[in-house]
A and B are shown apart, each in its own frame.
Chain A
């Protein structure tokens, strides 16, 4: 087995035989011509023909790869209307008495060089477009046909580099993936790979002629290609590939669709995230918002107390990228099983019932205010909610709100921009469930944290494996508490969601819908399966 590495364009797997693609070599006649008129004529005919071809390629690419990646062919067609480029070619024919093909090669090479000399990588990559159009002109002038994609077996295409016209001519159904020695993330290999949804490995320096016809796997996740892979590797990556295919089929089916039951009840399905790096997954899985943004990462990933600015930057990045989707940030939930050295938390006999979450925040107010200020500042960049964890009393909620107001006033006095922030609390203690009516008066939403709620209701330590036989994730007491919470919330105009693991439990989706839940927030990858489940439920039929 040989392994090649490079830069991955798409997190996908491709498995198949390699086909090495060789670029055409043009034999350019460098002799002078007596009469430039026929050459000008040839040039003009080729120009018109190629322009027409590029428009056809545009239509073809719109159909096979979408408007966005097709756009480049319209640019190619427009390029052939560019006076500077055409005049430079014609000048070479008329004044230097060269053939049309020589003029094209020189004229296009000069323009390509202009782009190559630019600072910006996007514009640099356009030199490939110029060369590509130039080559199309040469094909026309020299009577070359295209040989690409003529074999009818699906393959992984390996080449030094691929021009857009070459990639689009490929029969998409036969293209499993692409590997090139050159290319950048702005190159057409990359752009088209993304729009055709096949993995590509660029900058792969190990490419070898001997790979032709061999079995290979492109592992887009790990940015490598395995040539002659072992059986085990083949098997495990095949599985990974199937998983991707299933996920994509689901996405295809459900993307953009509402979370509406057969009888017309719509709820929100949000994603839980742990930091800015999860934002891509939120988008990829088409979540409508973030129902739980665990802010612990800013504390756990830091060796010292994170500053307001550090927190602001992290929150802003998420909020801004996902705007106008709602992002609910849960304030610091450190303590119990999550501890950090710089906070100097004393060792406790019973940490789950100890000094944690809001209890720390409300006793270390400067620490808490840094976070609240960062959240408030981020709210100017999108749609933000905040929720407080481990609440057991109305007094705590009021204190949190007072601190929020204090921070808001401070920021406004400093001239900082602050947006509206929806305020909610986690319902994860039996005390909160029993006081839900009073708590609902104070806030705009509730989010049920079912993991802790189960642990506290059943008095079962969720980290103790010995208690497994006694634990019941669907314990009737917990389900009853969820129902009570939803009802109490609704009595006071609060919307109620579930952000704990139970929210993703598809066997309970119908139960929650019948209880009247407004939102379920789950791991990003559970969003679409949950959507599918919701869309299969009919609440007008009586429950089984």
Chain B
């Protein structure tokens, strides 16, 4: 997991980012996707998931499904906000355990 990026004011803007490769043969699909959304919604921080040049809010189920993330594909998750440490940790753990 990486922290970093500096905002315009020169003050360090904290943000969590990690990558994850989907192992589930069905990809990020229906019901587990719903559970993933629920996991992200537990936190106040903004959680963004990106595949290639497309990205979406992880708290939106249909948009998340719309990325069409399949087995073997690598996604980048960015978490930003007050509880980002806990959020990033929880989401990463959830991904590893369920996908």
Binding site for B on A (CB under 8 A): 71-72, 74-75, 77-79, 81-85, 111, 114-115, 118-120, 122-123, 126, 129-130
Contacts and interface: CB of A to CB of B under 8 A. Distances in A.
Contact of B30 (A72, A119, A120): A72
Nearest to A88: B62
Interface string B2-41: 0000000000000000000000001101110110011000
A75 B31 contact: yes
Interface string B56-93: 00011111011010100000000000000000000000
Given A82-B61, A122-B27, A75 B33 contact: yes
B65 A126 contact: yes
Contact of A74 (B34, B60, B66, B68): B34
Contact of A123 (B60, B63, B68): B68
Given A75-B34, A83-B60, A122 B29 contact: yes
20 contacts: A74-B34, A75-B31, A75-B34, A78-B37, A79-B34, A81-B37, A82-B60, A82-B61, A82-B62, A82-B63, A84-B63, A115-B65, A118-B66, A118-B68, A120-B27, A120-B68, A122-B27, A126-B30, A126-B65, A129-B30
Contact of A119 (B26, B34, B38, B68): B68
Closest 6 CB pairs of A and B: A78-B34, A75-B30, A71-B31, A82-B61, A75-B31, A82-B62
Interface residues of B, number: 18
Contacts of A126: 30, 65
Chain A interface secondary structure, helix, strand, loop or mixed?
Answer: helix
A84 B65 contact: no
A134 B38 CA distance: 22
Chain B interface secondary structure, helix, strand, loop or mixed?
Answer: helix
Given A78-B37, A82-B61, A122 B66 contact: no
A119 B68 CA distance: 8
B26 A123 contact: no
A83 B33 CA distance: 15
Contacts, number: 51
Interface of B: 26-27, 29-31, 33-34, 37-38, 59-63, 65-66, 68, 70
Nearest to A123: B68
Nearest to B33: A75
Given A81-B61, A82-B61, A85-B62, 10 more contacts: A75-B31, A75-B34, A78-B31, A78-B37, A79-B61, A81-B37, A82-B62, A84-B60, A114-B66, A120-B27
Contacts of B70: 120
A82 B60 CA distance: 6
B28 to A, nearest CB: 10
A115 B34 contact: no
Contacts of B61: 78-79, 81-82
A123 B66 CA distance: 8
Name, among B26, B29, B31, B70, the residue most crowded by chain A CB atoms within 10 Å (CB to CB).
B31
Nearest to B62: A82
A115 B30 CA distance: 12
Contacts of B63: 82, 84
Nearest to B25: A122
Nearest to A114: B66
Contacts of A123: 65, 68
Contacts of B31: 71-72, 74-75, 78
B65 to A, nearest CB: 6
A212 B73 CA distance: 47
Contacts of B65: 115, 123, 126
Name, among B27, B30, B60, the residue most crowded by chain A CB atoms within 10 Å (CB to CB).
B30
Nearest to A80: B61
Contacts of B27: 120, 122
B30 to A, nearest CB: 4
